[in-house]
């Protein structure tokens, strides 16, 4: 359940580009390899593009080879919510921003240590803020 009210979420959604709206609120997926965040190497934090909630730290980012920005853990347990996704033949775990409910991507159990998880994110729904600007 998002922490923001439906009215607050609708206000935020109104200003989103169509491609971000499709991913964030219709559980779309961007094509692999298209996000400039794949190559982002600076220290900083990845925030929800819809509401600004901090979701991932650059210290948890790694190159998974999947074509999407990948992290081995979220910035905090309360920043992200999860639910089972049965849209494909095998069930997956979908993650979303706990603050506004925006779909971020999926979690897989093929990541690196220490968690063994791969939080595979759609770059279009992330906003990177370099540590030097935070």
Q: Which residues are catalytic?
A: 120
Residue 29, token pair as written in the block:
């997926």
SS (H, E, C) 46-114: EEECCCCCEEEEHHHEECCCCCCCEECCCCCCCCEEEEEECCCCCCEEEEEECCCCCEEEEEECCCCCC
How many angstroms separate the CA atoms of 39 and 2, rounded? 30
How many angstroms separate the CA atoms of 22 and 37, rounded? 19
């Amino acid at each position: 359940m998002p922490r923001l009210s439906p009215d607050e979420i609708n206000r935020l959604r109104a200003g989103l580009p169509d491609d971000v709206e499709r991913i964030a609120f219709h559980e779309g997926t961007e094509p692999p390899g298209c996000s400039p965040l794949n190559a982002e190497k600076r220290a900083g934090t990845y925030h929800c593009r819809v509401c600004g909630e901090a979701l991932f730290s650059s210290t948890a980012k790694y190159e998974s080879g999947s074509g999407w920005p990948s992290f081995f853990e979220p910035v905090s347990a309360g920043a992200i919510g999860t639910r089972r996704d049965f849209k494909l033949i095998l069930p997956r775990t979908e993650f979303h921003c706990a603050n506004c409910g925006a779909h971020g991507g999926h979690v897989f159990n093929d990541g690196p240590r220490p968690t063994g998880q791969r939080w595979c994110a759609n770059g279009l729904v992330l906003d990177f803020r370099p540590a030097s600007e935070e």
